[in-house]
C-alpha cells in the first residue's frame, strides 16, 4: 500500500487525507522511503529534509484527527528546486561556492504552499544558478532521466521533473528562464507550465521590470498544476508584474469538462531551418489530431520571427554577467568551465546591443499578440527531439535523426525561449513516446494572462490519452 501512495496524484491524495483513508505520516513514510531508494540511481536531490518532513507530517496528522481546519494541500509532499529560497534549509543554487547558504525566509511561492498545508520533502538538483538545459554540476554530479539512465533529465529544473516523474513527490517547485521547466517536463513525461508574467510572484528577481524568469509548478497532471497555481498565485508587493492580476479559479478551469469546439488553434512544427526528429513530428501530428477531435479549428502559422536565441542570449547572459562575474572572479576553480564560459560570453555585449535586444523582445511580444488576436492557442513541439545523452556538452553539437547541428539551445528548444520574453503562458504536456521509448512533449501557448483557459485546454488534451498511467521502469 505504501508504495502505491507514491503513484497517486496530489488531487487524489488530498481527497484521501480528508476522508482519513490515509494519514500524512503514512504518506510521508512512503515518499521518504522511495526517495532514499531512488536517489542513488536518479540523483535528483541535493538535500532531503527527512526529519523536518516527518515532524510536519505528524503535526498534519494531529490536525486531521482533531478535526481542525485543513489547508487545500494539507499533508501533501512537495519539493523545491535548489535555486528557490527555503527558510532554514540550505539553498545552494547548484554551485559549490553556495553549498552552505541557508536562507532566512522562504520565497513567496514556497511560503504560500506551506501556508496551504503542503510539506517540504527536499531540494532538487539544478545546474549552477540554473544556467543550462542539462542538470549537472561539480557540486552533485549528473541527474539522470527518469526513463533512461544514460539520458539527460533536461534542465535546468531537471531534479524537479525527475522527482515527479519517478513518483517521489507529486508536486515540485521549479523555475523557468528560457524553458527550464518545460524542457525537463518534456524529457521526463510530466506537466510543466511557465505561467503568464506576474501570475505567480517572483520574490528573488533582481530586475523587477525586465525579468524573464518565473517560479513555476511541475506535476504529473494538469489538475495538480492547477492546485499549485491556486496556492502560489495572487498579487504580492514584491513583484510589480503581479499587482492587480486577478486570481481565477484554476482548479475549476482544470476540470476536463466540455470540448474545444470552435476554439481556434494555430500550430507550427518549427521555425524556418530548424530540424525536427521524425518521431517528434509524428507525435506532434497525433497531438494535433486529438485537438481536432476535441473540436478545435486548426490553422498553421509561419515560424518567421521566432529565431530568438541570439536575442534571448544577449539579454540573459548580460544579466548573468552582472550577477555572477564577482563569483567567477572569486571562485573560478570551483565552478564548471561551461558556467564560466557563459558568464564571460556577455563581456562583448554593448549597452546598445542589449537595448536593441530589448527592442526585439518587444517586437516578439507584438508578433505573438498578433497571432493570438483571433486564435485562443498556439501549438508546437516542446523539443525537437527526445532527451539528449547524459554527457551532452552545452557547447557541442546536437544529433537529430543521424544529422548533427551546432547550438543546442537554438536547435533543441527553439519554442521555449520566446514565451519567457513575451510573458505568455506556455505548458508542456506529454503527447507520446519516441522510437527510443522516451517521452515527447507538446507545448500549448495561451493568451497573455489567460492561464485558466490554457489549463482547461490542457486538461481536455490530457483526457484524450492514457499517458498518466505509464511509469518509467525504476530500480
Tell me how long the chain is: 475
- Rounded CA-CA distance 116/232 in Å is 9
- In this predicted structure, what is the pLDDT of residue 416? 98
Written as nine digits, the cell of 194 is 511557465
Inform me whether the pLDDT recorded for 169 exceeds 90. yes
Contact 184, 194 (CB under 8 A): no
Alpha carbons 419 and 445: distance in angstroms, whole number: 8
Question: Right CATH number for 2-469 from 2.40.10.170, 3.40.140.10, 3.40.50.970, 3.90.1300.10?
Answer: 3.90.1300.10
Rounded average pLDDT over 243-261: 96
pLDDT beyond 90 at 172: yes
Strand partners, 379: 267, 444
Q: CA 265, 267, 272: angle at the middle one, nearest 5?
A: 155
Q: Give the model's confidence band at 399: pLDDT under 50 very low, under 70 low, under 90 confident, else very high.
A: very high
| pLDDT score at 155 | 98
* Terminal CA-CA length for the chain: 18
Active site residue 156: yes
The residue assigned the cell 522510437 is: 435
Mean pLDDT estimate for the chain: 97
How far, in Å, CA of 16 to CA of 305, rounded? Answer: 48
Bond prior to 165 in cis (omega within 30° of 0) = no
Q: Which three cell numbers stand for residue 152?
A: 539527460
Residues 300-356 pLDDT 10s: 999 999 999 999 999 999 999 999 999 999 999 999 999 999 999 999 999 999 999
Three-class SS of residue 407? coil
| Predicted confidence (pLDDT) at residue 1 exceeds the cutoff of 60 | no
Q: Within 13 Å of residue 33, how many CA atoms lie on the same side as its CB?
A: 12
pLDDT of residue 204: 98
The predicted pLDDT at position 88 comes to: 98
Residue 188 pLDDT greater than 70, yes or no:
yes
Among the listed residues 153, 180, 196, 336, the single catalytic one is 180
Q: In what order do the strands lie in the sheet with 77-81?
A: 45-48, 119-124, 77-81, 171-176, 214-219, 191-194, 426-433, 439-446, 377-381, 264-267, 297-300
Whether the predicted pLDDT of 3 surpasses 90: no
Are the CB atoms for 195 and 222 separated by under 8 Å?
no
pLDDT at 6 over 70: yes
Contacts of 160 (CB under 8 A, 6+ apart): 44, 79, 81, 124, 172, 173, 174, 181, 184, 218
Give the number of other CB atoms < 10 A from CB of residue 414: 25
| Domain residue limits, the chain | 2-469
Whether residue 470 is predicted with pLDDT greater than 70 in this model: the reply is yes
Question: Which pTM does this prediction carry?
Answer: 0.98
User: Each residue of 27-85: pLDDT tens digit?
Assistant: 999 999 999 999 999 999 999 999 999 999 999 999 999 999 999 999 999 999 999 99
Question: At which residue does the C-alpha cell 532521466 appear?
Answer: 145
Task: Determine the Cα–Cα distance for residues 123 and 120; give it in Å rounded to an integer.
Answer: 8
Classify the C-alpha dihedral 380-445-116-463 as positive or negative: negative
Residue of 9, 131, 137, 156 marked catalytic: 156
H-only helix segments in 332-450: 337-345, 351-371, 408-412, 417-422
Closest CA to 383 of 312, 277, 288, 455: 277
Spell out the residues 6+ positions from residue 437 whose beta carbon is closer than 8 angstroms to its own. 147, 148
Binned at pLDDT 50, 70 and 90, residue 2 comes out as confident
**The pLDDT of residue 246:** 87
Amino acid at each position: 500500500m505504501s508504495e502505491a501512495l507514491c503513484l497517486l496524484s496530489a488531487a487524489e491524495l488530498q481527497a484521501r487525507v480528508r476522508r482519513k483513508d490515509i494519514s500524512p505520516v503514512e504518506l510521508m513514510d512512503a515518499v521518504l522511503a522511495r526517495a532514499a531508494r531512488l536517489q542513488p540511481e536518479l540523483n535528483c536531490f541535493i538535500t532531503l529534509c527527512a526529519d523536518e518532513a516527518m515532524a510536519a507530517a505528524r503535526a498534519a496528522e494531529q490536525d486531521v484527527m482533531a478535526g481542525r481546519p485543513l489547508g487545500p494541500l494539507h499533508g501533501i509532499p512537495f519539493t523545491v528546486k535548489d535555486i528557490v529560497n527555503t527558510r532554514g534549509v540550505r539553498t545552494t543554487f547548484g554551485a559549490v561556492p553556495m553549498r552552505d547558504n541557508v536562507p532566512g525566509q522562504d520565497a513567496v511561492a514556497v511560503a504560500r504552499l506551506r501556508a496551504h498545508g503542503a510539506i517540504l520533502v527536499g531540494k532538487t538538483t539544478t545546474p549552477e544558478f540554473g544556467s543550462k538545459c542539462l542538470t549537472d554540476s561539480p557540486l552533485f554530479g549528473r541527474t539522470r532521466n527518469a526513463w533512461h539512465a544514460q539520458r539527460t533529465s533536461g534542465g535546468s529544473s531537471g531534479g524537479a521533473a525527475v522527482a515527479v516523474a519517478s513518483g517521489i513527490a507529486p508536486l515540485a517547485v521549479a523555475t523557468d528562464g528560457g524553458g527550464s521547466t518545460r524542457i525537463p517536463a518534456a524529457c521526463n513525461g510530466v506537466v510543466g507550465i511557465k505561467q503568464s508574467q506576474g501570475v505567480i510572484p517572483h520574490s528573488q528577481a533582481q530586475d523587477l521590470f525586465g525579468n524573464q524568469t518565473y517560479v513555476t509548478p511541475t506535476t504529473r497532471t494538469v489538475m495538480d498544476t492547477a492546485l499549485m497555481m491556486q496556492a502560489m498565485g495572487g498579487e504580492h508587493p514584491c513583484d510589480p508584474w503581479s499587482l492587480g492580476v486577478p486570481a481565477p479559479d484554476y482548479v475549476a478551469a482544470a476540470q476536463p469538462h466540455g470540448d474545444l469546439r470552435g476554439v481556434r488553434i494555430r500550430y507550427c512544427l518549427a521555425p524556418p531551418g530548424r530540424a525536427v526528429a521524425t518521431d517528434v513530428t509524428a507525435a506532434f501530428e497525433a497531438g494535433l489530431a486529438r485537438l481536432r477531435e476535441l473540436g478545435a479549428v486548426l490553422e498553421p502559422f509561419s515560424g518567421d520571427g521566432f529565431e530568438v536565441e541570439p536575442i534571448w542570449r544577449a539579454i540573459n547572459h548580460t544579466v548573468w554577467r552582472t550577477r555572477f562575474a564577482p563569483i567567477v572572479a572569486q571562485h573560478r576553480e570551483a565552478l564548471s568551465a561551461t558556467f564560466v564560459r557563459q558568464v564571460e560570453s556577455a563581456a562583448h555585449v554593448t549597452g546598445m546591443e542589449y537595448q536593441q535586444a530589448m527592442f526585439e523582445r518587444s517586437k516578439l511580444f507584438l508578433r505573438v499578440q498578433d497571432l493570438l488576436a483571433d486564435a485562443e492557442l498556439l501549438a508546437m513541439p516542446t523539443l525537437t527531439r527526445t532527451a539528449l545523452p547524459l554527457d551532452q556538452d552545452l557547447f557541442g553539437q546536437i544529433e537529430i535523426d543521424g544529422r548533427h547541428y551546432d547550438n543546442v539551445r537554438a536547435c533543441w528548444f527553439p519554442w521555449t525561449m520566446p514565451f519567457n520574453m513575451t510573458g505568455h503562458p506556455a505548458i508542456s504536456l506529454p503527447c507520446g513516446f519516441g522510437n527510443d521509448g522516451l517521452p515527447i512533449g507538446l507545448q500549448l501557448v495561451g493568451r497573455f494572462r489567460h492561464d485558466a483557459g490554457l489549463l482547461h485546454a490542457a486538461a481536455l488534451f490530457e483526457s484524450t490519452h492514457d499517458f498518466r498511467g505509464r511509469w518509467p521502469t525504476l530500480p
